[in-house]
Amino acid sequence: MHRLLRRQLKKIEYDDGNLSEKKFQDFLEIIDRAYKESDEDREFLEHTLEVSSTEMHDLYEELERKSKTKLAQSEARFRALAQHDTLTGIANRFALEEDLKRLISLSKRTKSKFALLFFDLDHFKNINDSFGHDFGDKLLKEVVARVAPKLRQEDIFARLGGDEFVIVLTNVEETKLAVLLEKIIALFREQWNVEGHTISISSSIGVVLYPKDGRNDVELLKNADIAMYRAKELGRDKFSFFTEELNEKIMYEMQLEESMFQALQNNEFVLHYQPKVEIESGKIIGAEALIRWNHSDFGFLSPSHFIDLAESNGYIVKIGEWVIQEAQRAIKRFNVIDTSKHLHLSVNVSLKQLQISEFYEVVKNALEGINPEQLILEITESVMADDIEFALHMLQKIQKLGVKISMDDFGTGYSSLAYLTQLPIDTIKIDKTFVDQIPHDGESGKTLIDTIIAMADTLDKCIIAEGVEHEYQCKYIQAKGCKYYQGYLFSKPLEEEQYRALLQKESF
């Protein structure tokens, strides 16, 4: 260490305080290090500079103070230079924050209102991916060239980074705002010519009003972002105003998402079991496992509260793995009652799970100690949405293990018969929507469900109807050739204890 210090000190050539800025910084760094690292180094430094320990200490403090002032000075200089976005030339995030602060204090004094629009380009990533970043940059410049002339002198137009922009409309009349927003959205709908390519884009805008939707620049920007998120959720190419309910909804989702990652560890998920029955004998043939989340703050949550969220953040893969493992344990427990091991248990499988190669191992490991035919995987027609080859291959491998595959929500997707014949499917589950359409009198004309059952029959698959709530529906499907059903008519999804009690009553 000594040698290193000496060499550095030599380079700096300490000449009694007359240091250049660069040397000053270097020097400070050395002293700072010496102070932090060891007594030995400090002693060496004191000796080299021929100063006493107290003098050395004073020097250190003075240098540190100077350094802080210098830092503040250079930051201010840097800020002054950096008010503009280098790509488009409009204000950048920093300038926007300053302007907003100024505008807020002015609005407080004059009691005036303003609107802040937060927008980005829908699917901008795809544009960058397909045409390259240079192209993306040129498009952003075009956006500025098209939007800026429509704004008034006193409005603010800033780019936050990426494809995110902010417009602040001052002295705005709320009644005219919607028309104005529609005009801005329409600007994006016109065609864009960039580097000889003609492309179509759209934009989603989130809108907040001062003072209603935020007290300061940070809150306004955050809430405008939330409103933009909502505009995207509503299908993009739209504007959306911030509301308190929206805020609560987003906060709820954020809290839900945060707690989700601990839910497995905390054993908060539980499976309920909805029996499936054979119409003719009225006997249970198995059950569908349906997940519930026993949330520490929100109570018992049905899958509609969290499955979509888990699919979008990918956690569904972990949840799905647990469901299959829990299903295996449940089957073993049920086999104590059903010693012939004939009752099956079906689990819902999300497309995300099928796209991961480890899924095969998860299923394979879950077969230990059970009859493979007792496990059914329910998949929806969306497996054919993309990457059909991979999903197909995965399902074929799994089917070879002896596990059955069921097509869930049959008839609601966009599958063609040709696709269906390609998929390794054992059972077809007719969706509740078709069961709901069965006429009360049991006859009047042909309904869609006839065609659906006929279709499933043509494919030579086992057929089961879901969501059967009434006796007449049951009779109707039976007459059309569907032998099994699941629905409130027989039973709602049950807690394990209740389901086992039902099994006990039947003799196997």
Q: Which stretch binds ligand C2E (CB under 6 A): 74-82, 256-264, 302-310, 363-371?
A: 302-310
Work out which of 211, 303, 372, 424 binds ligand C2E, going by CB under 6 A.
303
Nearer to ligand C2E, 203 or 274 (CB): 274
Q: Which residues have C-beta within 8 Å of that of residue 350, sequence separation ≥ 6? A: 307, 311, 316, 320
Q: Give the CA dihedral 89, 94, 96, 97, nearest 10 degrees.
A: 180
The option from ligand C2E, Ca ion, none interacting with 290 (CB < 5 to 8 A, set by class) reads ligand C2E
Contacted entry of ligand C2E, Ca ion, none for residue 274, CB cut-off 5 to 8 Å set by kind: ligand C2E
Shortest distance in whole angstroms from residue 400 CB to Ca ion: 23
Distance CA 107, CA 113 (A): 6
CA distance 406 to 377: 6
Q: Is 408 in the site for ligand C2E (CB under 6 A)?
A: yes
User: Of 319, 315, 408, 396, which is closest to residue 360 (Cα–Cα)?
Assistant: 396
Residues 6+ apart with CB under 8 A from 278: 285, 483, 484
Please report whether residue 307 would count as binding ligand C2E according to CB under 6 A. Answer: yes
| 340/111 Cα distance (integer angstroms) | 79
Tell me the closest approach of the beta carbon of residue 419 to ligand C2E, in angstroms: 20
334-to-50, 78, 321, 342, 372 alpha-carbon distances in Å:
86, 71, 20, 10, 14
Nearer to ligand C2E, 139 or 464 (CB): 464
The verdict on 350 binding ligand C2E (CB under 6 A) reads yes
Least Cβ distance, residue 495 to ligand C2E (angstroms): 13
Give yes or no for residue 323 binding ligand C2E (CB under 6 A).
yes
Output the smallest distance, CB 215 to Ca ion, in A. 46
Smallest separation (angstroms) from ligand C2E to the CB of 275: 10
Using CB under 6 A, pick the residue from 214, 286, 413, 487 that binds ligand C2E. 487
467 is an interface residue for ligand C2E by CB under 6 A: yes
138: left (phi over 0), alpha (psi -120 to 50) or beta: alpha
Q: Is 326 in the site for ligand C2E (CB under 6 A)?
A: no
Tell me the window of 38-46, 122-130, 298-306, 337-345 that interacts with ligand C2E (CB under 6 A): 298-306
> Taking the mean position of all CA atoms in its chain, how far away is CA 321?
19
Note the helical H segments in 238-315: 244-263, 307-313
201 versus 463: smaller Cβ distance to Ca ion: 463
Distance CA 367, CA 114 (A): 63
Residue 284: contacted member of Ca ion, ligand C2E, none (CB under 5 to 8 Å, by partner type): none
DSSP assigned state of 439: -
Q: Which DSSP state fits 84?
A: B
CB nearer to ligand C2E: pick between 172 and 477 = 477
Q: In angstroms, what is the minimal distance from the CB of 448 to ligand C2E?
A: 18
Closest alpha carbon to 45 in 192, 455, 57, 126? 57
Residue 291 binds ligand C2E (CB under 6 A): yes
Shorter beta-carbon distance to ligand C2E: residue 285 or 307 = 307
Positions that interact with ligand C2E (CB under 6 A): 274, 290-291, 302-304, 307, 316, 320, 323, 347-348, 350, 408-409, 466-469, 487-488, 493
